[in-house]
């Protein structure tokens, strides 16, 4: 952590009048870390104190995240846990390592108790895996757990598909209206991470779609736990004998974004459902109910979720769209950080959609 030349953050002043919040990042080479670095470099209250990547230690960040050329002269570091666990003065630690790597890192490194942790893997999302040593993780969906997040020292950031599905269904669960839910969703290639695989090559993705993990996607358990939290008659896991969310995910021929459609039986009138949704999300700055059809491009490159309801007879369809790397990952992580440090929830997240 010694290679930390001055960055644009050196000219920042905290909007709260206090000092800047020091942030460290573990696993800094992937897509989510790249988006996180971009946001934090432009966040008015944050100073990045180190970005760790064992495989890229000593390289400038812009040698891996090419869009950051000219934005920072920080280099990747390898040293992440000096004696005492103070992490070079970091007050918040973002874990962008792969699934399973976050729990190994925390188990093998001493981290000072005052350092807040936001994990972007699935290691701590479920209630039966939310505890490690003295640390207890809160599920970090602000539209569900804002008060808990505000008082948390450790947050498990939700999955991308889980975020899109839940935001489309939370108001119905709050009203006790959920029964059987049939959901389809399509995601871009960045959802599979930066590592190459047979289904992430351009030659495979271009002009192609494919279903995968039908009814078994790893995000379903967190979806069920959250919906059960609001409606206790709804199954709390995919292992329940009762039906719940039946989800068919698709790989899409685009790079980023998630579009989800959930359908179910509902006797409420459409105007009443729209009011239900608008009332639920009235005080949440990133979720919007549209009276018109929504598109994926509205959500790409920003931290927003757009929702549109359609009704035919007693059949309701809820469409939701997010950016998998922002509201589905790094943007939501920063939103959680803002809440944890008493900052404005939208701070650093005024991002422009790629509308054309």
pLDDT digits (tens, 9 = 90+) for 61-84: 999 999 999 999 999 998 765 444
CA of residue 327 relative to chain centroid, distance: 5
Residue 188, token pair as written in the block? 């871009």
Segment (H or E) for 278? helix 270-280
Fold match between 8-13+20-157+329-340 and 160-322? no
pLDDT of res. 193: 55
Active-site residues, by number, are 160
Q: What whole-number distance in Å separates Cα of residue 111 and Cα of residue 92?
A: 11
CA gap 230, 81 in Å, rounded: 39
Domain ranges of the chain: 8-13+20-157+329-340, 160-322
pTM of the model: 0.92
Q: Mapping DSSP to helix (H, G, I), strand (E, B) and coil, where does residue 161 land?
A: helix
Q: 8-13+20-157+329-340, what's its fold?
A: Rossmann fold (3.40.50)
What's 160-322's CATH class? alpha beta
Chain centre distance of CA 96: 11
Phi-psi region of 17 (alpha: psi -120 to 50; beta: other; left: phi over 0): left
Non-local (6+) Cβ contacts of 130 within 8 A are 124, 136, 137, 138, 139, 156
- Name beta bridge partners: 317: 263, 310
Spell out, as residue ranges, where the chain has pLDDT lower than 70: 1-18, 80-86, 191-201
- pLDDT given at position 11: 58
- The tally of CA atoms less than 13 A away on the side-chain side of residue 79 is 11
Round to whole Å and give the CA distance between 90 and 47. Answer: 9
Q: Are 147 and 213 in contact (CB under 8 A)?
A: no
Instruction: Say how many C-beta atoms besides its own lie within 10 A of residue 353's C-beta.
Output: 15
What is the model's pLDDT at position 217?
86
pLDDT for the residue 191: 60
Residue holding tokens 């807040």?
116
| CA distance between the termini of the chain | 40
Please report the pLDDT score of residue 14 as a whole number: 60
* Helix%, strand%, coil% for the chain, nearest 5: 30, 20, 50
Q: Are 68 and 61 in contact (CB under 8 A)?
A: yes
């Amino acid at each position: 952590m010694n290679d930390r030349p001055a960055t644009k953050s050196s000219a920042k002043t905290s909007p709260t009048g206090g000092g800047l919040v020091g942030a460290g990042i573990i696993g800094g080479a992937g897509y989510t870390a790249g988006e996180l670095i971009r946001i934090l470099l432009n966040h008015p209250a944050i100073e990045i104190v180190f970005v760790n990547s064992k495989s890229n230690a000593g390289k400038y960040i812009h040698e891996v995240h090419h869009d950051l050329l000219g934005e920072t002269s920080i280099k990747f570091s390898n040293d992440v846990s000096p004696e005492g666990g103070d992490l070079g003065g970091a007050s918040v630690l973002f874990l962008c390592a792969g699934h399973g790597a976050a729990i190994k890192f925390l188990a093998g490194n001493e981290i000072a108790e005052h350092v807040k942790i936001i994990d972007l893997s699935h290691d701590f999302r479920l209630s039966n895996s939310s505890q490690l040593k003295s640390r207890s993780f809160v599920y970090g969906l602000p539209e569900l757990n804002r008060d808990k997040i505000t008082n948390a020292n450790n947050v498990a950031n939700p999955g991308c598909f889980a975020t899109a599905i839940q935001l489309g269904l939370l108001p119905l669960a709050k009203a006790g209206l959920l029964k059987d839910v049939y959901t389809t969703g399509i995601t871009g290639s960045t959802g599979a991470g930066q590592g190459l695989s047979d289904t992430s090559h351009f030659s495979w993705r271009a002009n192609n779609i494919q279903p995968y993990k039908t009814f078994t996607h790893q995000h379903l358990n967190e979806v069920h736990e959250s919906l059960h939290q609001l409606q206790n008659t709804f199954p709390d896991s995919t292992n329940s004998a009762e039906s719940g969310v039946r989800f068919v995910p698709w790989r899409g021929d685009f790079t980023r974004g998630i579009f989800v459609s959930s359908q179910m039986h509902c006797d409420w009138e459409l105007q009443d459902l729209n009011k239900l949704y608008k009332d639920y999300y009235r005080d949440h700055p990133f979720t919007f109910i549209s009276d018109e059809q929504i598109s994926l491009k509205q959500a790409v490159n920003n931290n927003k979720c757009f929702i549109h309801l359609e009704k035919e007879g007693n059949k309701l369809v809820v469409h939701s769209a997010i950016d998998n790397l922002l509201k589905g990952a790094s943007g939501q992580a920063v939103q959680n950080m803002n809440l944890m440090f008493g900052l404005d929830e939208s701070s650093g997240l005024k991002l422009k959609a790629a509308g054309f």
